[in-house]
Amino acid sequence: MLSKPQEALVKAARNLREVDVRPAREVNAEDLLRRRQVWISEEAWAELGRRLQPKAKKENAS
């Protein structure tokens, strides 16, 4: 998983069976659970963490 597409890596990965290279913004839980191994760049890990942060709830003023 990458934070940004890297053309050379994507092209190289096409030659490998069972290898899927995706940007972090396109990955979902099913993608992760179906894989035996997942490799994530540091930048993609940070982006994934931001996506998974719970949204702050707005407090109702009564």
The phi and psi torsions of 17 (rounded to 5 degrees) equal -70, 145
Residue 60: pLDDT band with limits 50, 70, 90: low
Higher pLDDT: 53 or 1? It is 53
* pLDDT confidence of residue 57: 63
Residue 59: pLDDT band with limits 50, 70, 90: low
∠37-38-43 over CA atoms, to 5°? 160
pLDDT in tens, 17-55: 888 888 888 888 888 888 888 888 898 889 888 887 877
Q: What predicted TM-score, i.e. pTM, was given to this entire model?
A: 0.59
